[in-house]
């Protein structure tokens, strides 16, 4: 029976039972962290052999003869460009390989547009108003970048096929102050949705009122499948934009942060020839070059994109039981109660949970009191403000499967208690 159909007396009796269970759970002294998509130690261990690939007797020359110990190749060694291009589904001439973090590249691209403009357009700092579209729920670090530059953020609801494209087209095609949109197109953060072919094609066919409008296509989870036999696929936005006559409209980002070592991976940007040429000019001022030894290490370890895909199945062996443990508890404990819905992703790092309106902050706080840390309620929306106070991001990667079951048991207990309290307000 759904909670909203129960009488006040039934709800009060149930709440008394749940409160007793919560008091017992608090006494266990749990200290579990589901706040960020952080790989576990076991996941990090699957890449340890990468550290043995290069040593003092190794040949440290790239395939074009470049000595990776020295200056040079601001856009990356050829074999690293090919590896990242193949992972992203594009071609090496579209790619610049950077340092360890794609987030830094995104920040740089917003900063460059803000201070110097894109391909001859007016720098955003000189404009009266700059707006960005933000599919929600979404990635808090994206929103933090645009907030940092004082850019107005506009919520765009997500669907299982991607952002509401009617809204996207309405804003982009008619408002010159709309300069960009944040996208996590595959196994999105936090819902785990993958953009449909139609959505990708509609993105590529946009007719922006602003000639310097850019799609910030953060393909963070492009190879992060949970299953070998159930994998989402997505069209290549670079080639789709070229076919639609909009080659300059997209910046695509990816990294090996959750493939090799977070903080010690390699990151890349893919874009049109004109965008690449402009960025390379700016990079020659910004840096002498990125860590080519690390680029070489990655290529020698993975060898090719098939090596990356095989490696990701080793990660999946660690991740899959945690997702399944969480989803099993949600399904067995909350199905039919009418107090929450959740995504069931086939990849990525998160599960998105939507509680009753006005309950997310209270659920997160109640979990915290009992020793389970979740991402702050509201973090999946610009300015940290979820208008419905309902979305909660669950990150199953760091705890063990057993700990995830413990944490999920406590989570659903808190969902039930807070939901009853909310319903009782109207009884």
User: Tell me: the pLDDT tens digits for 178-194?
Assistant: 999 999 999 999 999 99
Are residues 264 and 357 both part of a single domain?
no
Q: Domain ends where: 260, 282, 303?
A: 303
Q: Are residue 145 and residue 276 in the same domain, yes or no?
A: yes
Same domain, 35 and 80: no
Both 358 and 245 in one domain: the answer is: no
Answer whether residue 407 is part of any domain: yes
Q: Are residues 293 and 324 in the same domain?
A: no
Whole-angstrom Cα distance, residue 286 to residue 271? Answer: 19
- C-alpha distances (whole Å) from 270 to each of 31, 75, 259, 328 are 40, 11, 18, 38
**Does one domain contain both 288 and 377?**
no
**pLDDT value of position 30:** 87
Are both 90 and 205 inside the same structural domain? yes
51 part of a folded domain: no
Statement to judge: residues 216 and 167 lie in one domain: yes
- Return the DSSP state at 51: G
Any idea what the CATH number is for the domain that residue 75 is in?
3.40.640.10
* Tokens of residue 278, six digits: 């402009």
268 backbone dihedrals φ, ψ, rounded to 5°:
-145, 155
Side-chain half-sphere exposure of 16, counting CA atoms within 13 A? 6
Q: Looking at the domain assignment, is residue 54 inside a domain?
A: no
Q: Is residue 157 part of a domain?
A: yes
> Do residues 256 and 366 both lie within one domain?
no
Q: What is the pLDDT of residues 17-39, one digit of tens each?
A: 999 999 999 999 889 888 888 99
Helix 305-334 crosses helix 78-88 at what angle (to 10 degrees)?
30
Res 34: pLDDT: 84
10-residue stretch averages of pLDDT, the chain, 427 residues long = 95 97 93 89 97 97 97 97 98 98 97 98 98 98 98 98 98 98 98 98 98 98 97 98 98 97 96 98 95 98 98 97 96 98 97 98 97 96 98 95 93 98 93
Whether residue 120 is found in the same domain as residue 258: yes
pLDDT of residue 145: 98
Distance CA 417, CA 16 (A): 9
Domain range enclosing 389? 3-43+310-424
In a domain, 52, yes or no: no
- Domain boundary residue among 283, 303, 323? 303
Residue 222 lies in a domain: yes
Residue at which a domain ends, from 303, 338, 368: 303
For every residue of 247-307, DSSP letters joined together read GGGEEEEEESTTTS-TTSS-EEEE--HHHHHHHHHHHHHH-S---HHHHHHHHHHH-SHHH
Instruction: Tell whether 55 is covered by a domain.
Output: no
On whether residue 56 sits in a domain, the answer given is: no
How many domains is the chain built from? Answer: 2
Q: Which helix (H) or strand (E) holds 254?
A: strand 250-255
Prediction pTM value: 0.97
CATH code of residue 344? 3.90.1150.10
Q: What pLDDT, on a 0 to 100 scale, did the predictor assign at position 274? A: 98
Q: Are residues 24 and 107 in the same domain?
A: no
Same domain assignment for residues 77 and 222: yes
């Amino acid at each position: 029976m759904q909670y909203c159909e129960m009488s006040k007396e039934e709800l009060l009796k149930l709440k008394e039972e749940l409160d007793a269970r919560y008091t017992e759970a608090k006494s266990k002294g749990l200290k579990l962290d589901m706040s960020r998509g952080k790989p576990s130690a076991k996941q990090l261990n699957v890449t340890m052999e990468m550290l043995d690939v290069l040593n003092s007797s190794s040949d440290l020359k790239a395939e074009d003869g470049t000595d990776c110990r020295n200056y040079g190749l601001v856009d990356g060694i050829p074999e690293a460009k090919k590896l990242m291009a193949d992972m992203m589904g594009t071609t090496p001439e579209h790619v610049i390989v950077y340092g360890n973090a794609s987030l830094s590249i995104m920040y740089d691209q917003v900063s460059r547009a803000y201070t110097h403009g894109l391909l001859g357009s007016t720098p955003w700092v000189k404009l009266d108003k700059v707006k960005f579209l933000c599919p929600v729920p979404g990635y808090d670090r994206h929103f933090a970048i645009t907030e940092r530059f004082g850019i107005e953020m506009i919520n765009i609801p997500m669907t299982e096929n991607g952002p509401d494209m009617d809204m996207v087209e309405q804003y982009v095609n008619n408002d010159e102050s709309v300069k960009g949109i944040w996208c996590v197109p595959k196994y999105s953060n936090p819902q785990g949705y993958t953009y449909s072919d139609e959505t990708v094609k509609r993105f590529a066919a946009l007719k922006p009122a602003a000639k310097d409008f850019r799609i910030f296509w953060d393909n963070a989870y492009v190879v992060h499948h949970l299953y070998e036999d159930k994998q989402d696929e997505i069209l290549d936005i670079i080639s789709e934009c070229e076919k639609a006559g909009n080659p300059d409209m997209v910046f695509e980002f990816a990294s090996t942060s959750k493939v090799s070592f977070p903080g010690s991976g390699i990151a890349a940007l893919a874009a049109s020839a004109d965008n690449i040429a402009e960025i390379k000019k700016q990079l020659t001022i910004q840096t002498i070059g990125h860590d080519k030894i690390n680029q070489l290490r990655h290529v020698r370890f993975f060898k090719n994109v098939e090596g990356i895909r095989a490696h990701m199945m080793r990660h999946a062996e660690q991740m899959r039981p945690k997702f399944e443990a969480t989803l099993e508890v949600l399904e067995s404990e909350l199905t039919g109660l009418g107090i929450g819905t959740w995504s069931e992703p086939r990849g990525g790092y998160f599960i998105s949970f939507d509680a009753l309106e006005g309950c997310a902050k209270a659920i997160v706080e109640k979990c915290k009191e009992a020793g389970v840390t979740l991402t702050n309620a509201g973090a999946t929306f610009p300015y940290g403000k979820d208008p419905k106070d309902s979305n909660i991001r669950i990150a199953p990667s760091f705890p063990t499967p057993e700990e995830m079951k413990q944490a999920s048991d406590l989570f659903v207990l808190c969902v039930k208690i807070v939901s009853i309290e909310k319903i009782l307000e109207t009884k």
